[in-house]
Amino acid sequence: MGWKENRLYSILKGRCPVCHEGKVFTYNQVFHPGKFDKMEERCSECGHKYEIETGFFYGAMYVAYALTVALSVATFILTYLIYPPTPYWVYIINILVVLIVMAPITFRGGRMVWINLFHSYDPKAIERHQQEQEKQSS
Ligand SMILES: [Zn+2]
């Protein structure tokens, strides 16, 4: 299996979980406060509807939470390794700053992991979508 067929490709590149081509998020500016959370409704390539049912993405919050915990632990360890005698409030501030700065990453990451739990790569998805559209237009 090639890299493009891998689930991680979809997650890391923010691509459709079915065809791994279409963009899930509307804007490439990951850290733009007003844009990072805007999603496409459907995949532009295979027509897959990302929010398969209302409230589907609530579950993504659990994944985002897990990512938040992992980031906090990583920040704690890094702070400790760089300067162990740091007072505890420096740990807290470091963790808060990292979590705030990385919020768009945990948000997008949570949704991308979540969406990939329910869908797998389908190399025929785009072709099938094109055939369906041709049928509709004829
Ligand atoms: Zn797609």
Cα-to-centroid distance, 50 and ligand 1 (Å) = 9
Specify the pLDDT at position 26.
Answer: 97
Specify the pLDDT at position 136.
Answer: 86
Under DSSP, the state recorded for 19 is: T
Distances, alpha carbon 24 to alpha carbons 36, 37, 82, 118, 123, in Å: 11, 10, 37, 15, 17
Cα-to-centroid distance, 47 and ligand 1 (Å) = 6
**Average pLDDT per 10 consecutive residues for the chain, totaling 138 residues:** 90 97 96 95 97 96 97 96 91 96 97 97 96 88
In angstroms, the CA 58 to CA 122 distance is 25
Specify the pLDDT at position 127.
Answer: 96
Specify the pLDDT at position 1.
Answer: 65
Q: Which residues are registered as beta bridge partners of 23?
A: 15
Cα-to-centroid distance, 68 and ligand 1 (Å) = 28
Cα-to-centroid distance, 123 and ligand 1 (Å) = 10
Specify the pLDDT at position 120.
Answer: 94
Residue 121: how many other CB atoms lie within 10 Å: 19
Domain residue spans in the chain? 3-137
